[in-house]
Structure 1
Amino acid sequence: MTDTIVAVATPPGRGGIGVVRVSGPRSAAIAEAVCGAVPVPRQAALRRFRAGDGAVIDEGIALYFPAPHSFTGEDVLELQGHGGPVVMDLLLARVCELGGRPARPGEFSERAFLNDKLDLAQAEAIADLIASDTAAAARAALRSLQGEFSRRVHVLVEGLIELRMYVEAAIDFPEEEIDFLADGVITERLGELRERLSVLQAAAGQGRLLRDGMTVVIAGRPNAGKSSLLNHLAGREAAIVTAIPGTTRDVLREHISIDGMPLHVIDTAGLRDSDDPVEREGIRRAWAEIEAADRILMVVDDRLGLNDAERALRERLPPATPVTVLYNKIDLSGRSPTVRDGAWGTEILLSAKTEAGLDLLREHLKTCMGYHGGEEGVFMARRRHLDALERATAALERAAYQLEIVRAGELVAEELREAQNALAEITGEFTSEDLLSRIFSSFCIGK
């Protein structure tokens, strides 16, 4: 990393302040050329930013952070000027003229990772903090950025290393291996590691839901009240509601938050046979969304109950996707709101029109998302983190099998190594270049 990179670190468009960030070995020389002198490290200095011919481009604040005491671990210069796109472009062009090059998306964070200023989970938390949709998600991302997730992974990795050392030391003395496998120490320590990994998996699962949310599809026959339900969950008139069957003909999406848990709610066309080509296309799209859903809310008119048409519809729903049956329009049927277990899973009696029972639905959705009633210790996690934790769990399960059934010390040690490598992928201690490239390319430019 001998080149110097530059990018506008503030969002596109006009604003009160715009920031141009520079990182690399030429930062000090660029500061001297643009500002007339290198600012005192970590002290804001009012400077005129000059072009190559000496003309003033802008006047603003210059900040200089010499290596290694900077975000990237390199010499860093920040030029804070007026936030107009023309001014930012002129400053960017001036820095490139002096030897800088435009940064790739996420390259500043990538350099921070490569210079050991933060690990991979912390680097990802920067992007997650910027992209947070709820206050709870922002707080969880900040905990990951501060190292909460990484610390818990490191504790597990250290435990695995110690156990590997114990196992491999015993393998070096084959005449003692049988006694070692039977002494109970490794079984106990392996059990403790599996239990701690299970706790971490559960926490990471809630962290992923905070980041990605859960996709819920509202499905059912025409005029069951699906669009009314979407409107009340969204808190606005997102869908047109009429008494005419087939009013909703396309997929409607709403992003809502329930106690900080993001929820992607999708309203679909009423599912029935139709000769109308437009309605048929809407129904085709509805089935496509149903196939991809995390959970299906099947809405039934409580006055009609589960008739043959509803039963046939239920049979067509994906068998692996959990279904909650909502008996709507209890304001007309005269029944009271309640939650109960039914033959097809959870059933909720409610009225989308009067909102009776909607609080029961919200609590049910929170439970489905893994909401535990508090944010203490919750950190942000991604799908790749869960994949790594699942592979580590599988490796420890195989290690237990090799220990208890096969009684092969070498295979136990190999499975422990596999678990260690899987966990090390989370923090980037054991990560392919291709994975790093994919991760950082998803960041915004200038971060």
Structure 2
Amino acid sequence: MENADTIAAVATPPGRGGIGVVRVSGKGIKSLALKVIGYVPEPRYASLSKFFDEDGQVIDQGIVLFFPAPHSYTGEDVLELQGHGGPAVMNLLLSSCLSAGARMAQPGEFTLRAYLNNKLDLAQAESVADIIDASTSEAARCAVRSLQGEFSDAVHIAVQALTDLRISVEASLDFSEEEIDHAHHADVSHRLKGIQAHLEHVLASARQGSILREGIWIVLIGQPNVGKSSLLNLLAGEEAAIVTEIPGTTRDTIRRTIEIEGVPLHLLDTAGLRETDDAVEKMGIARTRSTLEKANFVLLVMDSRWGVTPADQVILDSLPAGLPVIYVYNKIDLLDERSLARVGKGGSEIYVSAITGAGIETLRQRLLKMAGWQPRSMGEGVFMARQRHLQALTAAREYLENAAELDRGAFQPELLAEELRLAQQALSAITGEFGADDLLGEIFSRFCIGK
């Protein structure tokens, strides 16, 4: 793809830093370089240069890198100007590039051009944003594997196998049902089962990657003064919430993201759910109920000395239908020896002390289990997946299941071929071989400018 526009943007985060980078891409790089630095730099060679504004005044001095097409990130001529990372300097340097013929890049436009120029497929392009947004080291490693093409390769294997199977099935359309021998039918069945098994493996890995990318939203609820804030502080490893013995201290939702075995867990401490006349506390309770709508599951925190009280039951009855609940009995450090001996083991009940830390490791492992995380060595074989990837994989699985049903009955190559075509189309949407332009706009509009 050739694009007439030359685009430019600051590629480093806003604010002050030791180094700031302005990235430029397009056909007009050489003429732009003559105006901004006074010469066309040698390809792929770092050189020290002065940067000039449109009046020929020196803005800054830094490193210049030139990557000629097609051997660049975007597949076009790319120029990177690395100067001192002050906001004023970066703005001046960007303005100089715009005056020299470039326009401001749109969010994700550099990566979009890389995709359109076949430098990346769509799944790899999305992984660029996932690397930037990764909230844990494990998520970052997983995103890098997707950028390197591991996810795309797994999808391509399934697409190629489907293509080969479709050729075989559609070739049989020229023959009557009586002329199709049992060996051919058995071969189709065998190959279809192999594709289904491969797709199940890919889907399982993608679901794990989705957990790494999105994290799990966990809401702490319970009556006031049962230790929700203390529990949050202990899990977060910092004093994220104020802890007092006064009921109703937490008036607003407090969010902290923690990492357990590389999985990001978003913990939300909420205002205690109870009847109150305090206007501010009422607002906090209203926000608590709103927060519950997006939770993956909740921790109902209770005082272990009293167990599930009528007030706790009211809270349980008010939860959205089907929302999973872990019962957390706090303050076991206050139990006497007889009561402590009756503390349950396993099930959906966890007994902890937010003061001593007892039971916290059990709680952490239960959170991972509830999230659906299957521990693997350094996330081996896990693909960074988005919701659209999971939807495409699930749709492909359903089409293959329909194909398998047809295959188990009388051999109907027309219907079987159509289900295989739909499965292939669903998988091709993951890498962008099949898809709509509005999908591209939605994906790349979420990228940061400069990437």
Contact 1:218 1:296 in 2 (8 A): yes
Contact 1:181 1:403 in 2 (8 A): no
Identify unmatched segments of 5+ residues in structure 1: none
**Counterpart mapping for 1:206-355 below 5 A:** 206-334=208-336, 335=340, 339-341=345-347, 346-355=348-357
Give the CA deviation at 1:310.
2.8
* C-alpha RMSD of matched pairs (Å): 1.9
Alignment partners' CA distance in 2, 1:44 and 1:338: 65
Alignment partners' CA distance in 2, 1:265 and 1:413: 47
Give the CA deviation at 1:407.
4.4
Residue 148 of structure 2 is matched in structure 1 by 146
More divergent stretch after superposition (186-195 vs 100-109): 186-195
2:107 to 98, 105, 108: 105
Counterpart residue type for residue 202 of structure 1: A
**Counterpart mapping for 1:13-412 below 5 A:** 13-176=15-178, 179=181, 183-334=185-336, 335=340, 339-341=345-347, 346-369=348-371, 370-374=373-377, 375-405=379-409, 407-412=411-416
Contact 2:177 2:411 in 1 (8 A): no
Contact 2:36 2:100 in 1 (8 A): no
**What do residues 60-101 of structure 1 show as CA deviations (whole Å, max 9, x unaligned)?**
222111111111111111112222222222222222222211
Alignment partners' CA distance in 1, 2:248 and 2:33: 65
Give the CA deviation at 1:12.
1.7
Identity, % of aligned positions: 55
Give the CA deviation at 1:14.
2.2
Runs of at least 4 residues off by over 6 Å: none
Q: Assess, with a 3 A threshold, how the Cα gap between structure 1 residues 417 and 82 changes in structure 2: closer, same or farther.
A: same
**What do residues 260-289 of structure 1 show as CA deviations (whole Å, max 9, x unaligned)?**
110110112222233333333322221222
**What do residues 373-421 of structure 1 show as CA deviations (whole Å, max 9, x unaligned)?**
4222223111111111111111112222222246432122111111111
TM-score normalised by structure 2 residue count: 0.93
Indicate the SS of the match to 1:413: helix
Alignment partners' CA distance in 2, 1:355 and 1:160: 53
Alignment partners' CA distance in 2, 1:258 and 1:362: 7
Q: Assess, with a 3 A threshold, how the Cα gap between structure 1 residues 5 and 269 changes in structure 2: closer, same or farther.
A: same
Give the CA deviation at 1:435.
0.7
Contact 1:19 1:80 in 2 (8 A): yes
Alignment partners' CA distance in 1, 2:444 and 2:231: 39
**What do residues 145-170 of structure 1 show as CA deviations (whole Å, max 9, x unaligned)?**
11111111111111111111111111
- How many pairs are equivalent? 443
Indicate the SS of the match to 1:62: strand
Alignment partners' CA distance in 2, 1:22 and 1:90: 14
Q: Assess, with a 3 A threshold, how the Cα gap between structure 1 residues 165 and 54 changes in structure 2: closer, same or farther.
A: same
More divergent stretch after superposition (244-253 vs 40-49): 244-253
Counterpart residue type for residue 140 of structure 1: C
Indicate the SS of the match to 1:292: coil
Alignment partners' CA distance in 1, 2:88 and 2:427: 46
Q: Assess, with a 3 A threshold, how the Cα gap between structure 1 residues 359 and 191 changes in structure 2: closer, same or farther.
A: same
Residue 447 of structure 2 is matched in structure 1 by 443
1:427 to 414, 431, 441: 431
Counterpart residue type for residue 168 of structure 1: E
Give the CA deviation at 1:115.
0.3
Indicate the SS of the match to 2:346: strand
Indicate the SS of the match to 1:217: strand
